[in-house]
Amino acid sequence: MTGGRYMAMVLAIASATALAGCQQKTATLDATGNLNTASTAPASFEATAELGKKWQADPTNVAHGLAYAGALESTGQYDKQFEVYARLYAAHPEDGKLAAIYGKKLINGGRSNEAIPILEAAVAAPGADWRVRSALGSAYDQQGLYDKARANYSQVLAADPGNLTVINNMGMSFALEGNLKQAEATFRQADALPRSRSEPRIRQNLALVVGLQGRFDEASKLASEDLPPDQVEANMAYLQKMLSQPNTWQQLSDDKQG
């Protein structure tokens, strides 16, 4: 099984076994916070068209462009959305905040290969914070560049050792690479921090990597700290089903961990 296929399967299981609800869109915690200044309220096509006219009158206007891009996203016009971001960025390549927004949107759109150079510019810009570097790490992870991803996470953790978001993302990086033992150790480090009580995703990711190693009773106990019994049962059944398939999870884990 290729590394790319393995990554896709880990993310699929993480998504399928995540805590129910819109807060659990990915296995990673949000790495960029409130970087996007555009409105997230749904827009009508008519309102979107009006925003487009306003932006077209001055295509270098970042505020108008972000508003238009946000409306395009909310109406499902993703290709046009990226066209707007690309034109804005071309007009303002020195704008680190814009680069961070654009890069994160590219990641969310499954275009992490395009996001990497944008986010590399963003982290080099004055005032870049840990969220931008964490987003760059996520982009590297999605491209299988795990060493580069963890180098970025490590830079954040050197200054902020208790950063729960980045520790969690570090754990997912190890999991995506297939190093389940190190992923488990990293998630346990995160789970030991007091703030982890307010982040159930940490325990669900820990339960995931424990379950991927075949320790279902332990994984169930971890998952039950935050999930109702029926959800835990469904999650464990899904994990066992995946692990029972020939030449997939267990063989891959054994091969990668030696």
Co-location of 235 and 247 in the same domain: yes
Co-location of 23 and 42 in the same domain: no
Which structural domain, as residue segments, surrounds residue 203?
1-29+160-258
Residues 6+ apart with CB under 8 A from 12: none
Co-location of 57 and 120 in the same domain: yes
Q: How far apart are CA 54 and CA 56, in angstroms?
A: 6
Co-location of 46 and 116 in the same domain: yes
Closest Cα partner for 62 from 75, 110, 54? 54
Q: How far apart are CA 100 and CA 16, in angstroms?
A: 29
DSSP assignment string, 187-222: HHHHHTSGGGGG-HHHHHHHHHHHHHTT-HHHHHHH
* 141: pLDDT strictly greater than 90: yes
Co-location of 114 and 188 in the same domain: no
The whole-number average pLDDT for the span 244-249 is: 60
| Residue-wise burial string across 166-202, b where 16 or more C-beta atoms lie within 10 A, e elsewhere | bbbbbbbbbbbbbbbebbbebbebbbeeeebeebbbb
**CATH number of the structural domain spanning residue 13:** 1.25.40
Which of 143, 178, 202 is the endpoint of a domain? 143
Co-location of 113 and 186 in the same domain: no
Lowest mean pLDDT among 85-94, 124-133, 200-209, 238-247: 238-247
* DSSP 8-state code for residue 26: S
* Tens digit of each residue's pLDDT (9 = 90 or more) over 159-194: 999 999 999 999 999 999 999 999 999 999 999 998
**CATH number of the structural domain spanning residue 43:** 1.25.40.10
Could you give the percent of the chain with pLDDT greater than 70?
Answer: 78
Q: Under a CB-based contact definition with an 8 Å cutoff, are residues 105 and 31 in contact?
A: no
* 48: pLDDT strictly greater than 60: yes
Co-location of 2 and 83 in the same domain: no
Co-location of 65 and 133 in the same domain: yes
Total domains present in the chain:
2
Compute CA 171 distance to the chain's CA centroid, rounded to the nearest angstrom. 12
